[in-house]
Amino acid sequence: MSASAGDVKGRVAAGVDETNRGPSHDVEKGDRSVERDRNAQTPPSDDDTAIDEDADEYTKLLKFIDVEAKREKHKGDDQEDEDEEKEMKRLWYAPWKRVPVDKQDSRKVPQSWLDTDMNQGLAEADITSRRGRYGYNELESPRENPVIKFAGYFRGPILYVMELAVCLAAGLRDWIDFGVIIGILGLNAFVGWYQEKQAGDIVEQLKAGIAMKAFVVRGGQEQEIEARELVPGDIVVVEEGQTIPADGKILASYEDKDRSKARGITEEREKALAAKEDNKVDKGPSVLSVDQSAITGESLAVDKFIGDTVYYTTGTKRGKVYMVVTDIARESFVGRTARLVTGGSGPGHFQRVMATIGTTLLVLVIIWLLAVWIGGFFHGLGIATPKENNLLIYTLIFLIIGVPVGLPCVTTTTMAVGAAFLARRKAIVQKLTAIESLAGVDILCTDKTGTLTANRLSVHEPWVTDGVDLNWMLTVAVLASSHNIKALDPIDKVTVVTLKDYPKAKEMLKGGWITHKFTPFDPVSKRITAEVEKDGKRYVCAKGAPNAILRLTNPPQEVHELYSQKTTEYAKRGFRTLGVACQENGGDWKCLGLLPMFDPPRTDTAQTIAEAGDLGVRVKMLTGDAVAIAKETCKQLALGTNVYDSARLITGGMSGSDIHDFVESADGFAEVAPEHKYQVVEMLQARGHLTAMTGDGVNDAPSLKRADCGIAVEGASDAARSAADVVFLDEGLSTIITAIKVARQIFHRMKAYIVYRIALCLHLEIYLALSMIILNETIRADLIVFIALFADLGTIAIAYDNAPFAREPVEWQLPKIWIISTILGAWLAGATWIMRGTLFLNNGGIVQNYGSVQEILFLEVALTENWLIFVTRGMGTLPSWQLVGAILGIDVLASIFALFGWISGSEPHNGHTDIVTVVRVWAFSFGVTVIAALVYFLLNSIKFLDNLGKSKRGTKNKKQEDFLTNLRRLTLVHERAGDDDVFRFQPECVPL
């Protein structure tokens, strides 16, 4: 493509970017950019006629962008243009027809819905209809239809094979097999659906207890409701300390009940805009101040005016206003951002493991069937004849025994039961497969405040400069605190609570104080200020970071040195220190002293960290506090003290491999921002570590999504919860350790079941394939179906077993699983052959008086297969009563089958087996199981097998790490040359 065409493309992209900026959307600038770009188009060159069509398309696109920009600028004023641009859709029953899209399909809120009476609010009928169209005000996706969800338990490669077996049984008119196979499929689906639903209900109940609240005007009355109940057009009261519950537009300050002041401001603004006097637009006084740092990165609180938009999940720092809800959570700015990190990311690790196992078993079925069919042809068997012994019957049998139909059900049930257990301990598992990831975690990156520490600040021995009354300093510190008792900042709260120990300071604060202006804390100035007055004297009180107060006051040298010395001393002792200063009647600022605050570690944190180390999980602390405070906290918790400033992560100038080494070896980082969390997770994963990450803000959502197991801690934002795999409702680290232990127990149960189930498949495949080829006989298909049913029915109880938890991070080690399962399956097949061999003896072998070959083999197979679960589960703990009861019940039922010859057809003695023979089969099966247990124990003692299939964590790839790190350091440089925008990449000077 020619340069001119490329330029047009670039300018189109630039135009799109200008008109889609998110919170700081600037429509007029977008219009000017589009107009300039349209005028800058150049005709195509004669030697490149191919771009004519492209240029036409770009021109059309530019016109479309222009229309969209103008529409955005004049919302609600150009309905005719909107009708012209109306989208079309094809009818599902007549795809050749195209009709306009119904407005009800649009997610855009009609302008008329936002014209709600501020003092009356919405009527109940309006609320119902709007919720029916837009749903609830929450980030979570709509609940799945239970019927569709239940149908999902019949989908998957393994289940498709069983459904094929149903069709084959129907074709052979084997109605017993047909009914029992359908019963197996239905039972597995119902149990899996019910267990997952039960776990989901527990989670929903817990979530209801932490729901955000909102004050809304409805029916002329202010009332508190759950924020999820809001709909577009609702009138909401927002005040200092609250979280904004949805995207909305400010209508008026709370005192302006009749909106007279708001209308005056709006009219003046419209007159200035109509006269195109942009520089004379008066927005009026700021009525609200919000903290948007979590979504825009702006350090300062942002002032908002009448008519401005406020965004979902941002915090209110000052003011009290009425706002109208314009977009609910899912359609809000934060909601659209959350969808980027919560969208489908392909199958997880657990699904890939299950798919690998299922695919391998299907391949084995095909291989065994091929061998059986070849053997059948040599025996002269027909495809459908004779009736009881033909190739289709053999195929049906192998389809039933070759795939573990209960595998999806048992694993889902096991994880669902574990998730319900964790939920009762205030750990909500949002994705069941996260349990497997949590079981394998070997590095945990955690916050300090509220997780490692108690988040209960206390003031410790305040220090004052010479000549300053301690009570006066405390008075100034309290005056420079928020006055909103509903939502006090923890630092302001502890400052006020400290007064209980200083009665004279309390007396100083009694009566006469007038607050003229209060400026909340912001990360740039790093201080809080309040302009107050008493007895005709005006004071400006300030409280903030020690260095910020020092710069503000500029004290004498000796005071400066002593102040700095005290600050350093407190930091080394792990105190968070605040400086206090005051200005009287416009005079010089005076430094009053320091307030050292201490957030003690939680009483159980040190023990919990030691326990994490015993579990093979290394804890890295990521905190926003200073390095000195972080190191002191690490000392108190017996954590490593290799804690560094997070600036080294991005601006350290190290090579890629060195910075990976640095992150891997560090015990933590201080003064971290959300982007540092993401970088730490990414580098640890590059070294093969399974990493868990805690977070609570909107900006933490990408790192939570990136981590192998993202954990939203107590008090996290909705966006963080939506992106996380696990949500904690309790503070502290102990919940995380409990979750890891439970996850490893769940993993142990699933792994035991998978080894057991693969061995069962191989057991019957080996035995029956050889039996069909050598003896031209098989176990009846009816009995095979019941063997498969018993194998799955009893072992569902493994979900409730008393499993031990591993002392180190776990992983599947599929090669080891296949080797152990194959050996166990081969041994069971050999034992069944031994049993069958005794029946050829003249004395009847294992048969005492009488017994059917079919029933004896059925009983032996059923018993040895059921008891194998006690082998694969290990001997670390006693089995649960649920598992023992389920297996015992199945064994009794199988014995009754053998005794009374159920489903035995025309066998001798009607298929009945004498009681002594049944006892002998039980004794033989017990001996087989004991030998299987010894074999299993020996196999797990082999060091080679123990390490087989383990991933190598901490693997270093110097070339790749250096290359990727330097690639990320490319800086996008934007230069301006006349009316053109030029973009180019400029690498930092870091050697490769």
H/E element holding 435? Answer: helix 434-439
302-304 β-sheet, strand order: 302-304, 288-291, 315-318
Cα–Cα distance, 620 to 666 (Å, whole number):
8
My answer on whether omega of the bond before 386 falls inside 30° of 0, hence cis, is yes
Rounded to 5 degrees, φ, ψ at 527 are -155, 165
Residues 6+ apart with CB under 8 A from 804: 745, 748, 874, 876, 877
Q: What span, in angstroms and rounded, lies between the C-alpha atoms of 342 and 899? A: 57
Q: Which DSSP symbol is given to 142?
A: P
> Which residue shows structure tokens 């769940």?
746
User: For the CA atoms of 558, 562, 563, 569, what is the dihedral angle to 10 degrees?
Assistant: 160
Residues noted as catalytic: 447
Beta bridge partners of 983: 974
Strands, E assignment, 571-648? 576-584, 589-598, 618-622, 643-645
- Reduced to 3 states (helix: H, G, I; strand: E, B; else coil), residue 453 is strand
Q: Please, where are the H alpha helices in 594-730?
A: 605-614, 627-636, 647-651, 656-665, 674-686, 701-706, 718-723
CA distances from 582 to 522, 538, 970 (A): 18, 10, 47
> Is there a contact between 183 and 191 (Cβ–Cβ < 8 Å)?
no
Contact 969, 988 (CB under 8 A): yes
Tokens 């493509």 — which residue?
A: 1
Pairing status of strand 709-712 against strand 726-728: parallel
Distance CA 924, CA 919 (A): 9
Rounded Cα distance between 653 and 659, Å, is: 9
Closest CA to 869 of 854, 851, 849, 891: 891
Tokens representing 126?
């309006």
